[in-house]
């Protein structure tokens, strides 16, 4: 109603984003930027877009921040119960199926686009999941507003059987490309490397837009910085100090 | 006097005049139009830009029909390189697979275009007229790329002001008389800029990151060609409306303009992990 009179409501926080994933020889590397936007304002300069699903599965998320948080928490909880019920560690396709069934049920209204990666009993896996519920199984994938920028790097430099360092370097390069060339992505690069031996969650792996100067506060000016033009000294020796009457409750 | 309705809104209480009782009388209906936010204060009819509202059979360009996709261009040590594919698409159909989207103005300047091909042909005609004038004057002076760029900026902006744009993204590249390279882009609404590397269309997002990392004004021709090929390859992988048939125009200080024959690039479709992608996700894509 107020919008009819010209008021603009603040837009839902979205992660205009660059997220990427890559399968290399021994596992999966996931990467994300850290900027969360509300319209054209940066809402969170250092948010975390690589969400925990299970100890061996992580998901990067692009789209509406609230939807992503809740849908990843929900699948994470469902999978924890599933692990207890089956007595086995979770598989990535199980997480993928839970996500796609939930998202399809809501016909795209749950604005969550995910890059899901993990290492399970069948090896490393990487899937993309779109808000309407479709999925792709890929060796390298990017999502978000900076996805084309990151994909340009992947298409140009991907090769079979990369080593861990090469894979991390390429994913970081892709996210950097998104951060530098897309306005919806920014700040820092997060990486997450998942192998059969475990997960290495590299929060703020690279600082790309850090402040180059930190201000000293409070500012300390040495005496003599300001020129003294006039000086007047008042003695407070004979000043009388009276205690104020106590504040009474206002009962009028 | 018009009869007044006797019913009224119950929310207002008995016998009270409210919005439903406000009836339009002739005083309201027949008065001249009052100035409003959207109307001029003089009370004149507003300026009509849409010719259909004036019963004029002319129409404004609303959509492009036969289109070219991205154009990529970089400066290198001896000049500039401009590359694009040879597709004239009709919507999503790959209709004309041998269109040349590069136009040689003179031996110092090349113009390339993405967008509506017919509008590009019109621009080529305009540039042809300018070049013919130069030839007839016969004083040895040719149009410089900077002059062609300024001319095209004005043409595009003036058409935009008439709400009848030439639906193109133009790239003007060449070598100035003092030997320095020139590279600029002019958009369909008159937006223009010059830079060491310019891209239009999909290449804005796909090729620009590669150019920003690897391009420099004193790169060798071989490095520049490899960079252009890598970028054109990525554009072909990820742009639906593109084909594997490219042309590259080279404008160099020494050699003038040379537009290559159409060629194809090697593409990698045999990565191991793409061979059976849904092995572990049967039923997915």
Q: Is the pLDDT of residue B88 over 80?
A: yes
What does the alpha-carbon distance between residue A9 and residue B118 come to, in Å, rounded to a whole number? 44
Averaged pLDDT of chain B:
87
What does the alpha-carbon distance between residue B163 and residue A126 come to, in Å, rounded to a whole number? 48
**Inter-chain residue contact B205 with A148, CB threshold 8 Å:** yes
Chain A contact set for B213 (CB, 8 A): 177
The number of residues in chain B equals: 285
**DSSP letter assigned to residue B154:** H
- How many C-alpha atoms does A36 have within 13 Å on its Cβ side? 18
Nearest-10 crossing angle of helices B221-238, A147-157 = 120
The DSSP secondary structure of A6-44, one letter per residue, reads T--PPPPPEE---EEEEE-SSEEEEEEE--EEETTEEEE
Chain A contact set for B280 (CB, 8 A): 92-93, 122-123, 125, 137
Instruction: Tell me the pTM.
Output: 0.79
- Three-class secondary structure of residue B188 per DSSP: coil
Top-tier CATH class for A12-207? alpha beta
Q: Is the pLDDT of residue B33 over 90?
A: no
- Close Cβ partners of A177 (under 8 Å, ≥ 6 residues apart): A18, A146, A149, A150, A152, A153, B209, B213
**Residue B197 near residue B56, CB atoms below 8 Å:** no
- Close Cβ partners of B211 (under 8 Å, ≥ 6 residues apart): B72, B74, B197, B199, B227, B231
Chain B contact set for A172 (CB, 8 A): none
What does the alpha-carbon distance between residue A128 and residue A142 come to, in Å, rounded to a whole number? 8
Q: Does A208 touch chain B (CB under 8 A)?
A: no
Does residue A218 have a cis peptide bond before it, meaning omega lies within 30 degrees of 0? yes
- To 10 degrees, the CA torsion angle through B18, B21, B24, B27? -80
* Six-digit token string for B150: 């300024």
User: Which residue of chain A has the CA closest to B206?
Assistant: A152
State residue A2's pLDDT score. Answer: 59
- Three-class secondary structure of residue B72 per DSSP: strand
What does the alpha-carbon distance between residue B110 and residue B132 come to, in Å, rounded to a whole number? 16
Catalytic site includes residue B194: no
State residue A42's pLDDT score. Answer: 87
Identify the residue whose tokens are 């000016």: A221
Nearest in space to B76 (alpha carbons), one of B222, B247, B178: B222
- Close Cβ partners of A29 (under 8 Å, ≥ 6 residues apart): A21, A22, A117, A164, A167, A168, A171, A191, A192, A193, A194
- Three-class secondary structure of residue B245 per DSSP: coil
* Six-digit token string for A216: 């000293």
Q: Does B207 touch chain A (CB under 8 A)?
A: yes
A103 Cα to chain B: minimum distance (Å) = 15
List the domains of chain B with CATH numbers: 66-259 (3.60.20.10)
Beta sheet of A27-33, edge-to-edge order: A140-143, A19-23, A27-33, A188-195, A198-207
**Inter-chain residue contact A149 with B206, CB threshold 8 Å:** yes
**Inter-chain residue contact B210 with A125, CB threshold 8 Å:** no
Angle at A13 between CA A11 and CA A15, to 5 degrees: 130
**Inter-chain residue contact B208 with A136, CB threshold 8 Å:** no
**DSSP letter assigned to residue B197:** E
Write the residue in A125, A137, A156 that is nearest to B234 by C-beta: A156
Mean pLDDT across B91-112? 96
* Six-digit token string for A249: 């409750």
State residue A244's pLDDT score. Answer: 79
Domain spans, chain A: 12-207
What does the alpha-carbon distance between residue A27 and residue A192 come to, in Å, rounded to a whole number? 11
Nearest in space to B73 (alpha carbons), one of B201, B197, B177: B197
Q: Give the residue with greater pLDDT, B129 vs A216.
A: B129
What does the alpha-carbon distance between residue A157 and residue A145 come to, in Å, rounded to a whole number? 21
**B58 pLDDT tier (thresholds 50, 70, 90):** confident
What does the alpha-carbon distance between residue B137 and residue B106 come to, in Å, rounded to a whole number? 15
Q: Does A74 touch chain B (CB under 8 A)?
A: no
Q: Please list, residue by residue across A69-105, b when 16 or more beta carbons sit within 10 angstroms of its beta carbon and e when fewer do.
A: eebbeebbebbeebeeeeeeebbbbbbbbbbbebbee
Chain B contact set for A183 (CB, 8 A): none
Q: Give the residue with greater pLDDT, B13 vs A145.
A: A145
pLDDT in tens, chain A (252 residues): 555 666 665 555 555 799 999 999 999 999 999 998 888 888 888 899 999 999 999 999 999 999 999 999 999 999 999 999 999 999 999 999 999 999 999 999 999 999 999 999 999 999 999 999 999 999 999 999 999 999 999 999 999 999 999 999 999 999 999 999 998 888 899 999 999 999 999 999 988 876 677 777 788 888 889 998 999 998 888 888 888 777 778 888
């Amino acid at each position: 109603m107020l919008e009819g009179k010209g008021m603009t409501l603040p837009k839902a926080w979205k992660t205009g984003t660059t997220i990427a994933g890559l399968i290399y020889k021994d596992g999966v590397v996931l990467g994300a930027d850290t900027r969360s936007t509300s319209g054209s304002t940066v809402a969170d300069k250092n948010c975390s877009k690589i969400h925990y699903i299970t100890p061996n599965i992580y998901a990067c998320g692009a789209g509406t921040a609230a939807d992503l948080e809740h849908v990843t928490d929900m699948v994470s909880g469902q999978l924890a119960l599933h692990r207890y019920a089956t007595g086995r560690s979770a598989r990535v396709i199980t997480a993928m199926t839970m996500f796609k069934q939930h998202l399809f049920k809501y016909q795209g209204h749950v604005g969550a686009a995910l890059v899901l990666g993990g290492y399970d009993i069948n090896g490393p896996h990487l899937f993309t999941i779109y808000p309407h519920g479709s999925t792709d199984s890929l060796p390298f994938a990017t999502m978000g507003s900076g996805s084309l920028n990151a994909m340009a790097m992947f298409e140009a430099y991907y090769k079979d059987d990369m080593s861990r360092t090469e894979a991390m370097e390429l994913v970081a390069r892709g996210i950097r490309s998104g951060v530098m060339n897309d306005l919806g992505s920014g700040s820092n690069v997060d990486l997450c490397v998942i192998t059969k031996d475990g997960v290495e969650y590299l929060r703020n792996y690279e600082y790309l837009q850090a402040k180059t100067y930190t201000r000293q506060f409070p500012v300390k000016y040495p005496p003599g910085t300001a020129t003294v033009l006039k000086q007047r000294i008042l003695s407070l020796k004979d000043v009388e100090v009276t205690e104020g009457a106590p504040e009474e409750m206002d009962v009028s | 006097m018009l009869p007044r309705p006797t019913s009224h809104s119950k929310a207002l209480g008995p016998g009270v005049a409210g919005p439903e009782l406000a009836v339009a009388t002739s005083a309201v209906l027949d008065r001249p139009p009052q100035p409003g936010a959207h109307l001029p204060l003089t009370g004149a009819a507003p300026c009509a830009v849409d010719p259909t509202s004036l019963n004029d059979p002319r129409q404004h360009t609303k959509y492009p029909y036969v289109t070219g996709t991205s154009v990529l261009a970089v400066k290198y040590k001896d000049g500039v390189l401009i590359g694009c594919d040879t597709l004239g698409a009709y919507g999503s159909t790959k209709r004309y697979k041998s269109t040349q989207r590069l136009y040689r103005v003179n031996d110092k300047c090349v113009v390339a275009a993405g967008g509506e091909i017919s509008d590009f042909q019109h621009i080529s005609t305009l540039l042809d007229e300018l070049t013919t004038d130069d030839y007839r004057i016969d004083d040895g002076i040719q149009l410089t790329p900077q002059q062609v760029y300024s001319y095209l900026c004005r043409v595009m902006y003036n058409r935009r002001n008439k709400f009848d744009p030439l639906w193109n993204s133009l790239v003007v590249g060449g070598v100035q008389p003092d030997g320095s390279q020139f590279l600029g882009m002019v958009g369909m609404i008159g937006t223009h800029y010059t830079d060491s590397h310019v891209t239009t269309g999909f290449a804005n997002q796909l090729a620009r990151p590669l150019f920003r990392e690897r391009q420099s004004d004193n790169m060798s021709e071989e490095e520049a060609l490899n960079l252009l090929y890598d970028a054109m390859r990525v554009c072909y992988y990820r742009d639906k409306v593109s084909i594997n048939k490219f042309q590259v125009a080279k404008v160099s200080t020494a050699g003038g303009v040379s537009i290559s024959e159409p060629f194809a690039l090697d593409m990698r479709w045999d990565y191991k992990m793409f061979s059976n992608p849904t092995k572990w996700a049967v039923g997915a894509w």
